[in-house]
Structure formats: C-alpha cells, structure tokens
Structure 1
Amino acid sequence: MKRTLIAAVAGVCLLAGGCGLPLPGGAPSGPGYRVTAEFEDVLDLVPQAAVKVNDVTVGSVEQISLSGWTARVRLRVDDKVSLPGNAVAAIRQSSLLGEKYVALEAPATESPRGRLADGSVVPLSRTRRSAEVEEVLAALGMLLNGGGLAQLKTINEELATALQGREPAARDALQQLDTFVGGLDAQKADIVRALDALDRLTDALSRQRAVIGTALASLAPGLTVLEDQRRQLTASLTALGDLGKVGTQVIAASRDDTLASLKALQPLLDQLVKAGAALPKSLDFLLSFPFPPNVSGAIVGDYVNLGATADLDATTILSNLLVNTAPPAAQTQTQKPASGSQSKPGGSGGATSGNAGSGSSSQKPPVDVPGVIGVLPLSCLPIGGLLPPGWVPPKGCELPKDCKLLAPGAKAPPGSLLPPGGVVPPGTVFPPGTLLPPGTALTPACLLPPATGATNGQQGGLGDVLGGGLLP
C-alpha cells in the first residue's frame, strides 16, 4: 500500500513539472539568470552538465553553440548566487575519469567589479580549461621516451664536474648574490622612483624631440670647425702645458726672492695705509703747488685775482690794542672738533682772509649774531672782561644757538674747546684774549667756521673795500 502511494505521488509530481527535485546534472530548479561563457575548446562538455561555485552546484549548462572558432556555452545560474561582473569561468573535471563541469569564481589577479547578471558574457580572456588525462599521459610519454631526460642527466653531470673542488667559491658567490639581491630588494622603492623619474625625463625629451634635433643639427658646423682646427688646438694645449711647467719652475726658483720683496714692501704699505686720504689730497695739491687746487679758476692770463675781506670795525681794532691777543702756543681741547677749527689772524689792522679761488665766499657770519664775521663786539663784554660760566650777554648782544660756557669739570660734548689758561684764542665768537675762569669750556657752537680762502670774484678799489661793496 505504501509503495503504491509513493509511486502515485511521484507520478503526479512528474506530471506537474516536478516538486523541487534537482534537474539532470544536479542543478537545482527554480528562478535563475543566464550567462554566456566563451571557450576555445569545451572538450567533451555536454548540455545539462553542472555549473559550480566553490564545488557547490548552482546551475547547469543549457546550450553549447559554435560562433566561428569560438564555443559559446549558455549557463543557467540560481538567482541566489551573487558573482562579480568580472568573474572567470573554467572547464574542470570532477575526478580523473569523471564528468566535465563549468566552474565560476571571482578573479584572483584583480579586484571584483560589478555583478554578474542575466545576459552577461564571460569573454575568452577570462575562461580556461583543465588539461586532459590523455594530454598529461602523452607529455609524460614524450619525456620518458627520450624527450629530455638524457640532456638533464648530462647537464647535471657537467655541473657537478664544474663545481667539484670549488664548493667554497660557489657558496661565496651565492652568498654575494643573495646580498646583492637583498640590497636591490631593500632599495626597491628608490629604484622604482628612479625609473619613474627616468620615464618622466624620456617623456619630456620625447616632447622636445624637434628642439633636440635642431640643437644637434646646429652643433654640426661647430664640430666641423673644431675638427678642422684640431691640430692647432692640440698644439696650443701642448704649449700651454709647457708654459705651465716653465712657470712652475720660475715660481719655485724665485719663491724666496718674492717673499723677501713682499716683506720689504710691508713697511711702505703700512705707511700708505696710515696716510689714508692725505695722500690723494697731497697729490692733488702738488699739481698746483704753491697755490691751492682751485687756483685755476682765479688765474686769468698772467695774473691772479685775489680778494680780501678787511675788518675795520673800530671796536674790534680797539679790543685788539687793549687786550693781549697773542695766540697761545697750542690749543688744548677736550675732543678734536669734527670739522676742525682754523684761527683767524688778529691784530690792530683787523682780520683778513682770502685764497685765490673761484666761486663766492663761503665764510659768512651767523645770521643771528650781529657784528663783523661773527665776533661779539667788545662792548658786549663785562668791564672786567672775565666771563663766568653760564654768562648771558646783555640785551642787543646775542650768542649763536647752543653756544654755552661750561663750568670747570662739567661734561663737555664732542668738539668743545678748552682755552689754555682761560684765555680765548682766535676762532671763536668771543674776541681773542677774552678771559675765562681756568677749566671753563666752550661748546662747539661757540667756534667760528674755518676760513676756506674762497673769493667772490668781485673787483674794486680801496673805497669799495671800506664801504663794504666787495662783501658777499
């Protein structure tokens, strides 16, 4: 009774299209998608053969057709199976004498991309087949029947003969080769970087091929000239070498004399360094000696123009007569004035100055100081003539700005004048011979500018001089 029921159920299932039983080849039934794989050779693959993924049957072969010299195998794969779009296909054998099947798997040499879907095609570049048993046995038979074993034996014997007695050298060579390969492997990144740089260089050279060709073509005339003058160039280089030898001999022979000459020149050079700017100035003055360099502007024909400024102020003349105006033997200063000072000659006849030259007079009394050439009149001084530190002139008599009398021991600015013995020498805004307390210093503003000797180029008689007509 049970056997009859089972047979009836099986018949009904077969009439109804199957009850989920596997199709021929072991492929499961149910919904799926179709994929076409191209092979160069499908061997003895037949329709309804299994399609496997990781040795699990996931579909079957529906159709095998021929397109030119390429076999096209249409595969039906279960919908539940997900494969990348760049999957590979291979025809394999279940056992040594088993049936053929198609194996699908993800690529091993590249990253998976996309997804295998209905209508996808696996091209020839991603399909392969396994070797047949007949092919393996035929290759083995060829090898065993004189296909190369005898040659391998000869190679082995010759290699043993060559290395016999040289094992340490061969071992050392292998060790050095291992070290060399290890060094290359350690510098793999640098080698790759160098190759990339070389590739960029060759690419740049390739883009500038026309420019390089033009440059090489332009070198041809120059190379031709060098070729024509090769003998002259060789002779000149040889002569230069001989000259170098002679020069070396001369220098070596005269070395002691040269050093002695240089040592003898050292004192002279030291004196020239000490002379500084005085040497060129003296050379300039030597060309017009005994006149100053600017005398050429005053020379007209066979005579020289000379201008003089006479101070005929009665007060100054009287002060020169009453006060001892003899200048001291030397002036003692706290510091040498930056611009230098030059005393004006004093006497009963007044002060005169003038050198032959060109241009207008550069000696002018300060605008804020009344009187002639900047010297205070005698009437501005106290009756006793002694000027104490901090002395302020009376109304109508003004001193230059910043001109002060510094008390003895006070800090004096650079360029101040310390009159020796408290007697004011010529060259200041105070009349020569003015008495100061010993140690009293005059600030730089109290010093008159030095006389330059320049003339204004004006001409006139004694009346013009007395009337001031020749003053600037």
Structure 2
Amino acid sequence: MRSGARALAVLVTALLAGCDLGLPGGAPDGPSYGVSVEFADVLDLVPQAAVKVNDVTVGSVSGIELHGWTAVVRLKVADTVVLPDNATAAIRQSSLLGEKFVALAAPQGEAAQGTLSDGDTIPLARTRRGAEVEEVLGALGLLLNGGGLGQLKTINAEITKALSGREGDAKGALRELDRFVAGLDAQKDDIVRAIEALDRFSARLAEQTGTLAQAVDALEPGLTVLADQRPQLTAMLTALRDLGAVGERVIEASRDDTLRSLRALQPLLEQLVKAGDALPRGLDFALSYPFPPNAGKAIAGDFVRLHATLDLDAASILANALAAGPATPSAPSKPGLPLPTLPLPLPSLPALPLPSLPALPLPVPSGILPSGILPGLPGLPLAATTATRDGRWDPATGEVVRVRGGLPELLTGGQA
C-alpha cells in the first residue's frame, strides 16, 4: 500500500507539472508597476501572496526583505490600478484561518495627492497590520484564566453595594450627566473654535519663544533688585499701613470741623459765583491802581504823559485881572532865582469837568512848570495848560528858561 501511495503521488506531480494551472496569488497578467511597502511586522506573509484593492486582487507580493528593524515588501500591481501617491497599506487575513494579503487603499480623512507609480514607496507611517487570531485568543485566555474576571467581579460587587438604596440619586446623576453631555454637544462648534484659537495662540507663542526668553532674561535684574530690597519694601508697606491708620484717626477727629468750615465757606463761594466776570475785571484793574489798565502805555520810564484840555473864559479872567489894578512888572529872571508869582491872585475859576487825579508823590520832570502858577488851580502843572509853549522849568535851579510871552499869551493861546 505504501508503494501504491507513492506511485499515485508521483503520477499527480507529473500531471501537475505538465499542465498550466493557475495557483492562488501570482503576478498579475499584463503590464504592472512595482511598489515598495514598509511594515513593522509582516506576520506570516509570504511571497506570491495577493495584493487587493477593495477586496479585488490587483497584484501579488514579489518579495520580502529586512532593512534593519523594518520589513520591506515588494509588490507588483496591475497597470490598470490607479491609486494616490499617499495611499495606505495593511496586512489582512481573508478568513479566520485564511491566507494573509496586502490591502491597498486611498487615505481616509485627507485629500488624495498625486498618483502612485513605479518605484514609489509607502512609508511605515501609512502602514498597519490586523490582529492575529493567536493574539485575540491569548488575550481572551488571559482574561478567562484569572487575568481580569476576578477584578471585574470585585468591581461589580462594590458598585452594587455603593448603589444599593441610592438608585434615585444615581438616576438623577445620570440625568444631569446626560444634560451636561447634551450641552457640550450643543456647544461643540464653540468648543472647537476655542480649541482652534488656543492652538493658534500656542503657535504664536512657539514662534515668539526667543522674544519671551529675552523678556524673561531682561526681568532677571529687576527681580534681583526687588529681592535685595525686600526688607525695605516690607518696611515701607508697614509704614504706609501705620500712616493710613493715623490718617484715618485724623480725618475722623477733624470731620466735624471740616464740615463746619465748608458750611462757613459756602456763602463766600455763592458771592463769588454771583460776582461772575466782575471779579477778574476788578483784579485786572487792581494790578494797575490808581491808573486804569491801559495807563501803562502812557508811562515811559519815570515820566507820565498827560493830555488835558482846559476850556477857559479869557474875557472873565482879563476883566478880573484889570479890575484888581495894574500888575507890578516882575523883575527879569536871573539865573538861580525862582519864577515870581502874580501879586494879585486871580479869582477862583468855575468848576471844570476835569477828572480827579490821585495825589501821588510823583517827581516833577524837567520841562513842566511848578504848581501855583495859576491861582485857583493848585497842584496843576503849567504844562497841563501850555504844553511847554511858554518855557521849561528846571526843578534843579527853580528857574524858567526860554519864556516867550507872558500871561496874556498864556490865557489866550494856552491849550494842551
């Protein structure tokens, strides 16, 4: 029987060798292009394994190499398959005990870029592998063999004890949690915008790391000074506290007096308000008293220019002078002698509309005749009536020099 079995095996091998039968996997028919894929772990993937796109076989594995700690799988993909340049690759299993194959797909959650072509490489960041049946069974065995069931039983018992008699509170907490989650869901857009704004703010901070470092370095000397002067600052704050307490006592003690002073000041302030513009005008006049504010233009050094007009009745003055008798001729003026006065005083002149001038001890400048020339006009200088037409009086010698004319000319032509 063993010999017959061997003969049958040899016969089947010969038949298979003589027939062109398609085995699973294999290179695609027609033109194709090569792609390299990097995997951290290829499991039990073998050459000639299938390459699928959307569960349709489009190529095969042509070889597997090891570069350092990374496995590089060479793929042959039919030329009719068009994939983006940022495609992803995964090692999957056709069934629970089926063969492994490489699944290619377009990227999820990002836009497709370029076109996958011959010689391209899918990097390790865009590859993954599925969980093995052995790994699932091992994890399940760990859980069932005391790995986690005891802990789950303890947790369940403790939760039951904690919620026993507090079912209403637990339901209320769950309802509040449900409303809280619903509120978060309603404000999802705002939360997303806040997170994006925080991300932009963090990016700006990252861009200005150098500036922030310089600012922190610049703060170091100031912080050092503050640290050195900490006792002085503490003493200053303590003194300021004591000053505040003293000020509070002073204000409290003088509050009534301050209020009485303000009440007493109220009538004065009301009168100042009623005075209005009169007060500043009065102050302006007080600065130039006894002269009006515009009198400053008439003062030149120690002289005051005065212009006055006297309306005299010459006929009445002459009649009074002639009725008194002939005037005694005055002696000719000599140097060093004062100017003689008239022998007979003239009658008092009627009241003239002259402004009253204040009696100030002003010096009589050179060129102005002394007072008393005209009786009845005491204190009025002759220059006020003659405007220096008849002569000039020298206060140093008491003489009148260059006197032209006499009293008739004074009375008939004197006007200033």
TM over 0.5: yes
Give the direction of change, closer, same or farther, for the CA distance of 1:118–1:459 in structure 2 (3 Å limit).
same
Q: Distance in 1 between matches of 2:75 and 2:301?
A: 125
- Asked if 2 retains the 8 angstrom alpha-carbon contact of 1:311 and 1:352, the reply is no
Asked if 1:39 is matched to 2:39, the reply is yes
Give the direction of change, closer, same or farther, for the CA distance of 1:469–1:205 in structure 2 (3 Å limit).
farther
Structure 1: gaps of 5 or more residues: 1-13, 315-346, 359-454
| Aligned position for 2:272 | 269
- The correspondence for 1:236, drawn from 235, 240, 249, is 240
Count residues in correspondence: 322
Give the direction of change, closer, same or farther, for the CA distance of 1:215–1:62 in structure 2 (3 Å limit).
closer
| Aligned position for 2:25 | 25
Q: Distance in 2 between matches of 1:132 and 1:201?
A: 45
Give the direction of change, closer, same or farther, for the CA distance of 1:299–1:469 in structure 2 (3 Å limit).
farther
- The correspondence for 1:217, drawn from 210, 215, 221, is 221
Secondary structure of the equivalent of 2:59? strand
One-letter amino acid of the counterpart of residue 70, structure 1: T
What is the 5 A alignment of 1:288-437?
Answer: 288=290, 294=296, 297=299, 306-309=306-309
Q: Distance in 1 between matches of 2:41 and 2:287?
A: 111
Asked if 1:49 is matched to 2:49, the reply is yes
Q: Tell me: higher relative CO, structure 1 or 2? Use CA pairs within 8 A at least 6 residues apart.
A: 1
- The correspondence for 2:283, drawn from 277, 280, 283, is 280
Q: Distance in 1 between matches of 2:302 and 2:132?
A: 129
One-letter amino acid of the counterpart of residue 94, structure 2: S
- The correspondence for 2:254, drawn from 243, 250, 268, is 250
Q: Percent identity?
A: 44
Q: Distance in 1 between matches of 2:357 and 2:297?
A: 8
Q: Which moved more, 1:199-208 or 1:130-139?
A: 199-208
Secondary structure of the equivalent of 2:45? coil
Secondary structure of the equivalent of 2:90? strand
Give the direction of change, closer, same or farther, for the CA distance of 1:285–1:176 in structure 2 (3 Å limit).
same
| Aligned position for 2:165 | 165
One-letter amino acid of the counterpart of residue 38, structure 1: E
Asked if 1:461 is matched to 2:390, the reply is yes
Q: Distance in 2 between matches of 1:211 and 1:468?
A: 93
What is the 5 A alignment of 1:189-208?
Answer: 189-197=193-201, 199-201=203-205, 203-204=207-208, 206-208=210-212
Q: TM-score under structure 2 normalisation?
A: 0.62
One-letter amino acid of the counterpart of residue 98, structure 2: G
Q: Distance in 1 between matches of 2:32 and 2:204?
A: 51
| Aligned position for 1:150 | 150
| Aligned position for 2:110 | 110
| Aligned position for 1:134 | 134
Q: TM-score under structure 1 normalisation?
A: 0.56
Relative to total residues, which structure has the larger helix share, 1 or 2? Answer: 2
Asked if 1:187 is matched to 2:116, the reply is no
Q: Distance in 1 between matches of 2:209 and 2:28?
A: 63
Q: Once the two structures are superposed, what CA deviation does each residue of 1:102-148 show, in whole Å capped at 9, x if it has no partner?
A: 11111224322111111112222222222222222122111110111
Q: Distance in 2 between matches of 1:289 and 1:68?
A: 113
Give the direction of change, closer, same or farther, for the CA distance of 1:30–1:229 in structure 2 (3 Å limit).
closer
Q: Distance in 1 between matches of 2:247 and 2:172?
A: 54
Q: Note the C-alpha offset of 1:312.
A: 9.0
Q: Note the C-alpha offset of 1:271.
A: 4.4
Secondary structure of the equivalent of 1:187? helix
Q: Once the two structures are superposed, what CA deviation does each residue of 1:377-424 show, in whole Å capped at 9, x if it has no partner?
A: xxxxxxxxxxxxxxxxxxxxxxxxxxxxxxxxxxxxxxxxxxxxxxxx
- Asked if 1 retains the 8 angstrom alpha-carbon contact of 2:45 and 2:100, the reply is yes
One-letter amino acid of the counterpart of residue 461, structure 1: D
Q: Note the C-alpha offset of 1:57.
A: 1.0
| Aligned position for 1:59 | 59
